[in-house]
A = this chain, B = another copy of it.
Amino acid sequence: MIEKKDLRLQDIGEFALLERLAETLGSAGRGAGKGVIRGIGDDAAVLQNSPGTRLLACCDMMIEGKHFDLSYFSPWQLGWKSLAINLSDIAAMGGRPRWALISMGLRPDLRVSFVEEIYAGIAELAERFGVTIVGGDTCSSAEQLVIDVCLLGEAYRTEVSYRSAASEGDLILVTGKIGSAAAGLAYMREDAKDDLKIEGLDELLRAHLEPVPRIEEAAVLTKSGLVGAMNDLSDGLASELHEIAQASGCGARIWADRLPISPATILMADQTGADPQHWALFGGEDYELLLTIPGGKGSPLKARKLGRSLMKKTGTPLNFIGRILPASYSVEIVQPDEKIEPLGAKGYDHFK
Interface residues of A (CB under 8 A from B): 9-10, 12-15, 17, 37-38, 41-49, 54-61, 63, 65-67, 88-90, 92-93, 95, 99, 101, 103-106, 108, 134-144, 146, 148, 150-153, 155, 160, 162-164, 231-232, 247, 349-352
The answer on a CB contact under 8 Å between B44 and A56 is yes
Return chain B residues, CB-CB under 8 Å to A61. 103-105, 137, 139, 146, 148
Instruction: Find chain B residues with CB under 8 A from A137 CB.
Output: 59-61, 148
Question: Which residue from chain B places its CB closest to the CB of A8 in the assembled complex?
Answer: B351
Which residue on B lies nearest to A52, using beta carbons?
Answer: B51
A43 CB, min distance to chain B CBs, angstroms: 4
Residues on B with C-beta less than 8 A from A43 are 58, 88-90, 92-93, 163, 231-232
Most chain B beta-carbon contacts within 10 A, residue among A43, A101, A146, A151: A43
A44 to B57, Cβ gap below 8 A? yes
State A93–B41 Cα separation when bound (angstroms): 12
Listed by A's residue number, 11 A-B pairs whose Cβ atoms lie within 8 Å are A42-B247, A43-B88, A47-B55, A47-B56, A57-B101, A61-B103, A61-B139, A67-B139, A103-B148, A105-B144, A141-B144
A141 contact set on B, CB distance < 8 A: 63, 66, 144, 146
In Å, the complex CA distance between A151 and B135 comes to 12
B54 touches A37 (CB 8 A): yes
A136 CA to B150 CA in the complex, in Å?
9
Query: Do the beta carbons of A148 and B59 come within 8 Å of each other?
Result: yes
Asked whether, in the complex, the Cβ of A139 is within 8 Å of the Cβ of B66, the reply is yes
CB contacts (< 8 Å) of A58 on chain B: these are: 43-45, 101, 135
A142-B351 in contact given A44-B56, A61-B148, A148-B59 (Cβ < 8 Å): no
Most buried by B among A146, A153, A162, A164: A146
B140 with A63: CB separation less than 8 A? yes
Q: Are B160 and A46 in contact (CB under 8 A)?
A: yes
Residues of B within 8 A of A143 (CB): 65, 142-144
- Could you tell me the distance between the alpha carbons of A90 and B232 in the complex, rounded to whole angstroms? 32
Give 17 A-B pairs besides A46-B93, A59-B148, A61-B103 with Cβ atoms closer than 8 angstroms.
A38-B160, A38-B162, A42-B164, A43-B89, A43-B92, A44-B151, A46-B54, A57-B99, A57-B135, A59-B136, A61-B105, A63-B141, A63-B142, A65-B143, A105-B146, A108-B350, A148-B148
